[in-house]
Structure 1
Amino acid sequence: MFQSTAPQRRSIPHGRRRAALWAAVVPLLVAAPIALTGEAQAATPGTSVSYATTCTPGVVPAIHGTTISEITVDNATPKVGDTVNVTYDVTQPASGNPTSTALPANVILPTGVVSLGGAQTGTVTVSGTRTNPPVPGNAPFPAFQMTGSFVVSNPGAITLSPGNYNINSNYIISLDTPCTIDTPPAGVSNTITASPATVPNNRVITDSPSSGPAGTKVAISGSGFTAGATVTVAGFSGTTATSDVTQATADASGNLTATLTVNAAATTGIIAFEGATYTPATASPPVAYSVTAVVPPGGSSQTLNSSVKGGTLSMTQAGSTVTMTPVDFGTGGSSTGALNAITVKDFRGGSSGWSLTASNTNFTGPGGSSLPAAGLSWTPSCTTTAGSPSTCAAGSAGAVGTAGATLASAPAATLTGGQFAAGANLSLTVPAFTAPGSYSSTLTLTLA
């Protein structure tokens, strides 16, 4: 089933283009997390690494051998602040049962560390479970798996290498067999590439007055800018810059005060952005301005003003829970369902397009069992309400997962807007012998 885990989130829209172009674009982010319950599948495996290891069980002389292992991650492209789950698979331990006493099933507990390098250093503590087959006396230890997680703190390439590990056997007596890499570090088994955390744009301005004859001095007030930043305040008409421009400095609190003299009769709006070159990340949404006609001497006239007020980009969902079809243990297959209908309303009245994307987390189940996020795939659909200026397009069929995918979108144009209905058929790949029980994942929808 899908289960809602957070309320709808909205960020303040961005601005438009400077230089020769001010695109009348006011992006608005709307995110609605939804929890998915069903059953899922695989992550990003690494390369197999072989390294000389010395194990010292204490009851016999040191054991010199070779360890072969591999490190898998559930998210190879996280952002700073994301949690990455790590699996350390030892396919060939360097040591075996150090005693002649046979060990029964489920008495061996592996623990260890994974070494981080590159953009982020340190270690990740990993541990397994006592789920071994029986081990005869003096026989090799079977392969085992350990898991752990860490939070990404720095952007860039982060390497993961196998570290030291310990094998504890708890039968008759508790016996540790610590295994140390002879020449650390071991080779790199996996690498993830972390991107910076998303920073919201809270810049906004107001103008007073919002109309007047050519030559009017307009007071601009703003907030949310970088403290001490030089801010360009400029006029535009449609998608073209006018000659009206000035600069001011944001104070220590990020507030802005400026005066823009509007001389160009074509100016229909005002925008502010940091620096001399427009970038959406440092720009405010535009505010409207109209230049009124000057009445000739001896004549009289009345100007009749009307307006169409632009709204927002928003979305709503028909529900927050989706129950997917069950899959039989031992058979596996596809657990299917349908995303609750999403209604997108683009009432901004500008020239911006929009994109609705989604990503999902791993499916968690009973007793710590899990299924990878990448096992969820979908076939998106999107329909446009009659009379809408824009036409939406459905995203491509395929996997969703932590990397995310596009559900629907509408392109930028001279005039955009409208109402749209988006949805998707869902399918989750479930391996044949997945542990019985309910599995849950969180699907997050983002509208921008």
Structure 2
Amino acid sequence: MTARARQAAAARTRGAAGGRTPRAATARPRRPAAALAALGALALAAATAPASAAGPEQPGGARTGPVEFSTHCVPPQEAGLPPGDGTTTALIAVDNPRPRVGDTVTVTYRVTATTAVNPLDTELPADTLTPAGKVVLGGVQPGELTVTGPRKNDPVDARAGFAAFAMTGTFTVTRPGEITLAPGDYTLHTSHLMELDTPCTVDRAHPAPVSERLTAAAAPGVNARAIALATPAGRPGAKVHVVGAGFTPGAAVTVAGRAGTAETADRAAATADERGVLQAELTVTDRATTAVVAYEGPGWTPAAGAGPAAYTVTDAAPLPPGSQKVGVTVEPGGLTMTQAGEEIALSPVPYGQGGTARGRIHTVTVKDARGGPAGWTLTGRLTDFTGPGGGRIDGAGLRWTPSCTTKEGSPSSCVPGTPGPVGTDGATLAGTPDAALVGGEFTVGADVALTVPPYTAPGAYAALLTLTLS
């Protein structure tokens, strides 16, 4: 079964005036170092139930629109103000509610009411407020999305509440099905007289309701179907619970046993739900069955099928008198990845001269315990670096040289990706080929080098690196 993981980056560094930027992957000319980081999250094949939200009624009874939720806002220590507990009103919107897998979706997080106040005892001038926050993703693609806003605001009276503000960010759709979006924590950074942050956190016991949801379709030519078995073995006649995702919503699906490339007599019919999720029970009686597949249409094909998922039929033949049968089951696991850290500093680059900021991503450990025939691929995508005053460093200027080491005893051999730019189109970091039996543990890394143009404005520059394991 395909497992996907995403890495997002977060680093907080001080600006030239002693200020701090919201958490993000950063590159910084001269004194503060450029940084690139990543945070992984595993996307599950089965969809999760969305939370309720106040808003207009949608098809199927789902609600979206403006939502209210409890927040705890902590003024900076320099302000001498007590924390503020209250209600935030916000709205999440997307530019494309029906994307395809592989599409980039732009998300806008707009706060219309907040308990946060101007931390100064003087007026906060126009264009001195910079917001940043998180959008919580759910459904078939759980995780967090970082959003940021421009440095823009109307004047705010001393100790007065802030007016409405908006933050935007993007994410790449990796699975077909429903994806929910809910407001998360946000921070208001002010840069007048001194650099100050007012973080507002969502009540963990009562998360914000879903404010927006989208339905993603499979990309043309891309097969996102996957299945998993509740048990990897059983005696003849045992029922196997099969869970799948990525199928065409409402499609008729055949679940069948398989021996090598041929199907066995074991067969069941099922229907994918409105999210493309499959639930089926397959009775396995054929002792030749060694795997289970699921497919749409008249027969299994790589374009319209999922699996094979390994399955073993245990022998039920009567034992000779005076004998005992000893057996053991090797249970398959999953495809996972972990990282050694979240913050990676690139070497500083002097203002006016420009040059190359160098570093290395934190080590990523991939473990493949599926025991099937499918290899895996770890890819990466990188956004542009954004900085103070709307400054930008082209993300295509960052190149990596991947490396990959296979742990001794692993059935598969890890192959590093080709050195070159990462960019928004993405590049392969490492992978293993398909084989009769795959698996093992692998250590993946990459040296990175970012080209910073001369006279790039000083300050912290942030980018987002997304790693996907499939």
TM-score for both structures, normalised by structure 2: 0.52
Deviations 1:155-187 (A, max 9, x none): xxxxxxxxxxxxxxxxxxxxxxxxxxxxxxxxx
Shift of 1:347: 1.6
The structure-2 alpha-carbon separation of the partners of 1:258 and 1:275, relative to structure 1 and needing over 3 Å to count, comes to farther
| Counterparts of 2:436 and 2:310, CA distance in 1 | 18
Equivalent position of 1:309 in the other structure: 331
Any stretches of 5+ residues in structure 2 without a counterpart? 11-24, 30-99, 108-167, 173-217
Equivalent position of 2:4 in the other structure: 29
Q: Secondary structure at the match of 2:378?
A: strand
| Conservation of the 8 A alpha-carbon contact between 1:339 and 1:424 | yes
Shift of 1:320: 0.7
Q: Secondary structure at the match of 2:344?
A: strand
Report 1:351-370 matches (<5 A): 351-370=373-392
Equivalent position of 2:258 in the other structure: 236
Q: Secondary structure at the match of 1:424?
A: strand
Equivalent position of 2:437 in the other structure: 415
| Counterparts of 1:211 and 1:417, CA distance in 2 | 23
Equivalent position of 2:357 in the other structure: 335
| Conservation of the 8 A alpha-carbon contact between 1:228 and 1:251 | yes
| Conservation of the 8 A alpha-carbon contact between 1:244 and 1:260 | no
| Counterparts of 2:101 and 2:351, CA distance in 1 | 32
Equivalent position of 1:248 in the other structure: 269
Q: For 1:212, give the aligned amino acid.
A: R
Q: For 1:31, give the aligned amino acid.
A: R
Q: For 2:8, give the aligned amino acid.
A: P
Deviations 1:97-135 (A, max 9, x none): xxxxxxxxxxxxxxxxxxxxxxxxxxxxxxxxxxxxxxx
Q: Secondary structure at the match of 1:374?
A: helix
The structure-2 alpha-carbon separation of the partners of 1:302 and 1:251, relative to structure 1 and needing over 3 Å to count, comes to same
The structure-2 alpha-carbon separation of the partners of 1:314 and 1:441, relative to structure 1 and needing over 3 Å to count, comes to same
Shift of 1:79: 4.5
Is 1:439 matched up with 2:461? yes
Equivalent position of 1:62 in the other structure: none
Q: Secondary structure at the match of 2:9?
A: strand
| Counterparts of 2:368 and 2:244, CA distance in 1 | 25
Deviations 1:61-104 (A, max 9, x none): xxxxxxxxxxxxxxxx99434349xxxxxxxxxxxxxxxxxxxx
Equivalent position of 2:27 in the other structure: 38
Equivalent position of 1:283 in the other structure: 306
Q: For 1:359, give the aligned amino acid.
A: R
Report 1:49-448 matches (<5 A): 79-83=102-106, 196=219, 201=225, 204-206=228-230, 210-213=233-236, 216=237, 218=239, 220=241, 222=243, 224=245, 226=248, 228-237=250-259, 239-250=260-271, 256-258=279-281, 260=283, 262-263=285-286, 265-278=287-300, 279=302, 283=306, 286=309, 288-295=311-318, 302-448=324-470
| Conservation of the 8 A alpha-carbon contact between 2:264 and 2:288 | no
Bigger Rg over Cα: 1
Aligned residues: 281
Deviations 1:195-246 (A, max 9, x none): 94999657555479x5234xx3646565656554222121123x33242243
The structure-2 alpha-carbon separation of the partners of 1:299 and 1:275, relative to structure 1 and needing over 3 Å to count, comes to farther
Any stretches of 5+ residues in structure 1 without a counterpart? 1-12, 14-26, 41-76, 85-148, 154-194
Q: For 1:402, give the aligned amino acid.
A: T
| Conservation of the 8 A alpha-carbon contact between 2:229 and 2:242 | yes
The structure-2 alpha-carbon separation of the partners of 1:31 and 1:281, relative to structure 1 and needing over 3 Å to count, comes to farther
| Counterparts of 2:239 and 2:447, CA distance in 1 | 52
Q: Over aligned residues, Cα RMSD in angstroms?
A: 4.0
The structure-2 alpha-carbon separation of the partners of 1:268 and 1:196, relative to structure 1 and needing over 3 Å to count, comes to closer
Q: For 1:248, give the aligned amino acid.
A: A
Shift of 1:275: 2.7
The structure-2 alpha-carbon separation of the partners of 1:30 and 1:223, relative to structure 1 and needing over 3 Å to count, comes to closer
Equivalent position of 1:16 in the other structure: none
Deviations 1:306-336 (A, max 9, x none): 0112111111111111111111111111011
Shift of 1:337: 0.9
| Counterparts of 2:427 and 2:463, CA distance in 1 | 16
Q: Secondary structure at the match of 1:82?
A: strand
Shift of 1:430: 0.9
Deviations 1:4-44 (A, max 9, x none): xxxxxxxxx2xxxxxxxxxxxxx32122222431169xxxx
| Conservation of the 8 A alpha-carbon contact between 2:28 and 2:458 | no
Q: For 2:265, give the aligned amino acid.
A: D
The structure-2 alpha-carbon separation of the partners of 1:288 and 1:306, relative to structure 1 and needing over 3 Å to count, comes to same
Q: For 1:327, give the aligned amino acid.
A: V
| Conservation of the 8 A alpha-carbon contact between 2:355 and 2:451 | yes
| Counterparts of 2:433 and 2:272, CA distance in 1 | 37
